[in-house]
Amino acid sequence: MNHPLAIALATMLACTTHGSAQAATGKLLLTGGVSSVDGAAGGGLTPWAVIGSNATADEVGVTAHLTRAVVTDYALTSFGASVGLMDRFEISLARQDFDAGPGLALNGIAPFGVNAGQHIKMDILGIKARVAGDAVLDSDSLMPQIAVGLQHKSVSPGSLGSVLNFLGTQRSGTDVYVSATKLFLAQSLLLNGTLRATRANQNGLLGFGSASPGKNSYSLQPEFSVAYLVSKNVAIGAEYRFKPNNLEALGRTAGLGGALREDDWKDIFVAWAPSKNVSVTLAYVDLGRIVPGITANKKQTGVYLSTQIAF
C-alpha cells in the first residue's frame, strides 16, 4: 500500500513501538476485542466501541493481525495494524485480498474479460473515537461504552473492473458507524450493537452504490455481537451483520433474477488469549450468497481464523 495514509500509519507504528511498552498495565484479557476483518477492534465481522490494543488511559498501544476466511467458493485474506491512543482514539489500516476466481463465469453472461484466478484487493482506513462510557469502569451500571467511527475503503478490482462499470458502482466509499458495547463483568458477558451507514456491496469488494434501479444511497444497517467469557482467557460468542443488498433490483431488471442478491453475514466464534499479547479467533461463518448467479445459488459457509498481536 503506497497510499500516503498507509505510510503515515507505518511511521506511527514504528514510532510507538517503544512507547507501547508503557502499556505494561494493560486491559483485562479480551476486553479490547480482537481485530475485525476490516481492521477495527471488535468481533470478527463487526466493530465494537472498545479501543484496540492493551493500552489504557495515558498509554499508547499497537496491534497487528492476520486473518484467513475460506468459504464454499471464495477465500479472503486480511492483514493490518492499528494504533490505540489513550484508550480514546483508534487508527487502523487493513488490506483485504479476495479470491474472486468464480467471477470467470461472468464472461458467459457478457464479454467482461474477467481473468482466471482474479483477486480483488481493498484497502481500509479506519478511525474510531470513544465518546462516552467506559466498558470496564462502568461494568456495574447500565451505561455502555459508545464510540463513533468511519472506514474509508478503496477497491482495486483488476479485470473485474468492467463488471463494476456495468453495475454502475464506485471504486471507493466511506462507512460511518456508531457502536455501543456493554460489559457485564460479574456475569462474564459482553453485548454490542453497531449501526452502520453504508453504500458498500459485499463490504465494498463489489464497489459502492449501484446504477438504477439498484440502491445508490446510504442505508442504515444494524450489527450485533454477544460474547461470554468461559474463563479468563477464553470467550465464545456470535455475531449478526445486516447487509444492504443494493444490486439485486438492477440484476432483476437486466434479466438476471436474483443473481446479484446480497445476504446478511453471521458467525459463531471462540477467542483464546494464550498470553496478554496474543489472541486467536476461530469461527464458523455464514456469508449467505455472494453473487449467487455464478455459484449455483450456494450459501457461502466455512471457517474464519484470525491471529492478533497486541501491546
What is the DSSP code string of the chain? ---HHHHHHHHHHHHHTTGGGGGGS-PPTTTT-EE-TTSSEESSSSB-SSPPSS--TT-EEEEEEEEEEEESS-EEEEEEEEEEETTTEEEEEEEEEEE-GGGGGGGGTS---PPTT-EEEEEEEEEEEEEE--TTTTTTSSPPEEEEEEEEEEEE-GGGHHHHHHHT-BSEEEEEEEEEEEEETTTTEEEEEEEEEE-BSGGGTT-BS-STTS--S-EEEEEEEEEEEEETTEEEEEEEE-----SHHHHHHTT-TTTT-B--EEEEEEEEEEETTEEEEEEEEE---BSGGGTTT---EEEEEEEEEE-
Q: How far apart are CA 87 and CA 72, in angstroms?
A: 38
Each residue's pLDDT expressed in tens, for the chain with a length of 311 residues: 444 444 444 444 444 444 433 444 568 888 888 999 999 999 999 999 999 999 888 899 999 999 999 999 999 999 999 999 999 999 999 999 999 999 999 998 889 999 999 999 999 999 999 999 999 889 889 999 999 999 999 999 999 999 999 999 999 999 999 999 999 999 999 999 999 999 999 999 999 999 999 999 999 999 999 999 999 999 999 999 999 999 999 999 999 999 999 999 999 999 999 999 999 999 999 999 999 999 999 999 999 999 999 99
pTM of the predicted protein model: 0.91
Phi and psi (nearest 5°) for 6? -65, -40
CATH number of 4-310: 2.40.160.40
Cα 287 from Cα 73, distance rounded (Å): 11
Q: How far apart are the C-alpha atoms of 151 and 234, rounded to whole Å? A: 29
Q: Which amino acid is at 49?
A: A
Find the farthest-apart pair of alpha carbons in the chain and give their distance in angstroms, rounded.
61
State residue 10's pLDDT score.
Answer: 45
Rounded distance, CA 213 to CA 251, Å? 9
Phi, then psi, of 199 in degrees rounded to 5: -120, 10
The domain limits of the chain are 4-310
CA torsion, ordered 129, 130, 136, 137, to nearest 10 deg: 140
